[in-house]
Amino acid sequence: MAQDVGESTGVDSEFEKLKQRVRTDLRDPLEEQWTEVLEQWPEASPSERQAVRQYVTELRDRVLNSLLAADTADELKRGLALGYAEMKCHWTMLNTRIQHQTAQNGRPNEPLIYRATCVSLIVQTLEPLLSREHVQNLASFLAEPLS
Q: Which residues lie closer than 8 Å to 81 by C-beta, 6 or more apart?
A: 130, 134, 138
Q: Between 147 and 113, name the one with better pLDDT.
A: 113
**pTM for this model (two decimals):** 0.88
Q: For a pLDDT cut of 90, what percent of the chain falls above it?
A: 81
pLDDT, position 2: 45
Give me the sign of the Cα torsion angle 31, 126, 15, 132: negative
Which tens digit of pLDDT belongs to each residue from 40-64?
Answer: 999 999 999 999 999 999 999 999 9
How many residues does this entry show for the chain? 147
pLDDT score recorded for residue 10: 64
Could you give the CA distance from residue 42 to residue 19 in angstroms, rounded to a whole number?
36
pLDDT at 141 over 70: yes
Look at residue 6 and tell me whether its pLDDT is greater than 60.
Answer: no
Give residue-wise pLDDT tens across range 74-113.
Answer: 999 999 999 999 999 999 999 999 999 999 999 999 999 9
Q: For residues 115 and 50, is the Cβ–Cβ distance under 8 A?
A: no
Element (H, E) at 102: helix 73-105
